[in-house]
Amino acid sequence: MKRGIRAEDLYRLKFVSDPQVSPDGGRVVYTVKRINKEKNYESHLYICSLSSGASVQWTTGSHIDSNPRWSPDGKRIAFVSDRTGKKQIWIISAEGGEAKQLTSSDGGASNPVWSPDGKSLLAAITVKKESDESDRLQPLEVTELQYKADGRGLLKGEYSQLFLIHSETGTQKQLTSGPFDHFDAAWSPNGDRIAYCRSRPADDTVSYASDLVIRQLGGEEKTVSNGTGAFTNPVWSADGEYLAYCGQTFEYGSATLGNLYAVKLDSGETLCLTRNFDEHAGDALIGDMHYGHPAPKPAWSKNGSGLYFIASLNGCSSLHYAALEGKVAQVTKRDCHLYGYTVDAENDFAVFAASSPVIPGDLFYASLSNLAEEVRLTDVNKAVLSEIALSHPEEFRFTNDEGRSVQSWLMKPPRLDEGKKYPLVLEIHGGPHAMYGNTFFHELQLLAASGYIILYSNPRGSFGYGQEFVKACMGDYGGGDYRDLMSALNHALEHYDFIDPEQLVVTGGSYGGFMTNWIIGHTSRFKAAVTQRSISNWLSFYGVSDIGFYFTKWEIGNHLFEDPEKVWHHSPLRLSSRMEAPLLILHGEEDYRCPVEQAEQLFIALKQQDKTVKFVRFPKADHNLSRNGDPGLRVARLQYIVNWFDEQLENVASKGGPTLENTASDRF
């Protein structure tokens, strides 16, 4: 009999990403990531023959190899590896053999891009600001809004610059300079120009704002974008007439749908190819296995009349096609999380990396003109999953108080005993502008295997259902989004008799942590709660988060100094006296997105009122602990969640406690 999944299975699961088809269309190189329990994460290159379907491991060792890119003649593969410490560019023969190190920069190197003639590569190299190299402590002078970033820490004048590197000798020439990060480089077809993205000045009001730039090799640069958003992933058409790219213009802040653009270079005319497509051009689906894989660039069709790209809608991320005249069509139909792809337009096929609720991540082949030819190429978790009984989610929808359909899912224990009632966990995603859906989620599978019903939903504010829906929570945190979540819960209780209405618990991270705090301050339905990397006080979040100085305005509607009363109104900390559910607070000590002081304030407020509360601090962990943090801490975090819910529900059962109200009361 198969067993349920365990927290420790995280050490055994593998994840496939970043497929790249060879120039002759016969092979695909890709990466497989796993966790080495003793040495943290590992990632290796594999090559799959499309004629036989067989894969061969191409690199080995206790290190991370990533970003494989074929040379134009298909004879070599450039990739990034940390095998000598810092990440550097390496090259390996496509026929096998030892890899050769190409760069040895003190700041590390990444994102290799071959020139059309194969003689050179573009790479992003971190250039450090000159400073005293002694070990003594030194002060950091701060003069700009953006002086720290989650996952990077305090910013100390280090910027990513583009270098031209000879593919044989490793000789380097710096092409860009200045206090900006330069990334996503792309060569023009004849190799005389490059396109790339450049971050905005550090005093800009949005930390991830960026421009699209074209530079003549050895000449001047020209900004192509309009300077009002974030633009990424440029790709030239084969004839060099167009430059396509992804981006968003911040019209609705972080709730703005992503779009696909193409600029006609001779006239400067910019076309928004997704102007009539009321969905997000990009991957908005979240899970806990997929963090850090590179976002694939759009891919031009064979005749140059349009591009392939990823779009997110209705709980799925799929491959779509946008014609230059503005018509958009979905290409892949599988209900899944398509997070990576490579297109061979000449031979009419794509290979894509995809996940589903029961597939952590594998490669699939699809004919672009005949989707019936879709074939699975890899099954990297076959051995471990042969031992495990996974839960298959059941989708349902309900109509909210604004007449909108809200997509939700129920995940049951793998073996459901007829006639038995089960406790339910309400899981709430972060963002809030993200999307739950058809992807593998280790945490949800673990809770289901632990005997819980898992309810997860995409309330207003989520991507996947059009622009109006995704911006509907802005300025209204804890209003309509809260009602959507309570309506999802009510629907589940009304339609599934195996749920015990007296054993409800709730958890979520980031925005989901905010909403967990908000929920237990507004209703006593839940017997326990776990809040993760949460927001509790928007007044302090404004000044301590790496994004607080603009995100607060976007999401709440006002800066701290404009309307502090409104900012405080949406702060769960003010509701601490109403919070009765036993609360476990989980937070990373190096979280710069939702800094640990948010957890500290909530813990002290509850503890001083003699509430049942526990605070767990994870050392050296940032906002992405659950996705790419220290593996041991990731496992510990999962165990804390399950154990807290088990213990609190057992306490209630042993005490024969009072029946909690079973209504969606909203005590504003």
- Catalytic amino acids? 510, 623
Run of H or E residues at 263? strand 259-264
Cα 196 from Cα 164, distance rounded (Å): 13
Phi, psi of 65 (to 5 degrees): -105, 130
Task: Classify burial at 212, counting beta carbons within 10 Å of its beta carbon; exposed 0-12, middle 13-18, buried 19 or more.
Answer: buried
Token pair, residue 44, equals 């290796």
Q: From residue 393, give the alpha-carbon distance in Å to each of 222, 409, 441.
A: 49, 6, 11
b/e sequence 368-381, b meaning 16+ C-beta within 10 Å: beeeeeeeebbebb
Residues 522, 578 contacting (CB under 8 angstroms): yes
Neighbouring residues of 267: CB distance < 8 A, sequence distance ≥ 6: none
Distance CA 398, CA 651 (A): 33
Whether 202 contacts 179, CB under 8 Å: yes
AA identity, residue 273: L
- What span, in angstroms and rounded, lies between the C-alpha atoms of 445 and 5? 7
Q: Is the peptide bond before 432 cis (omega within 30 degrees of 0)?
A: yes
Measured between alpha carbons, how far is 505 from 514 in angstroms, rounded to an integer?
15
Asked if 24 and 1 touch (Cβ cutoff 8 Å), the reply is no
The neighbouring-strand residues paired with 455 are 410, 426
Q: Nearest 5 degrees, angle CA 443-CA 445-CA 447?
A: 70
Residue at 129: amino acid letter? K
Amino acid in position 255: A
From residue 458, give the alpha-carbon distance in Å to each of 28, 117, 249: 35, 47, 24
Spatial contact of 25 and 346, defined as CB atoms under 8 Å apart = yes
Q: List, in sequence order, every beta strand (DSSP E) within 382-433.
A: 394-399, 405-411, 422-428
Cβ-contact 486, 664 below 8 angstroms: yes
- Does residue 151 come out as left (phi exceeding 0), alpha (psi in the -120 to 50 range) or beta? left
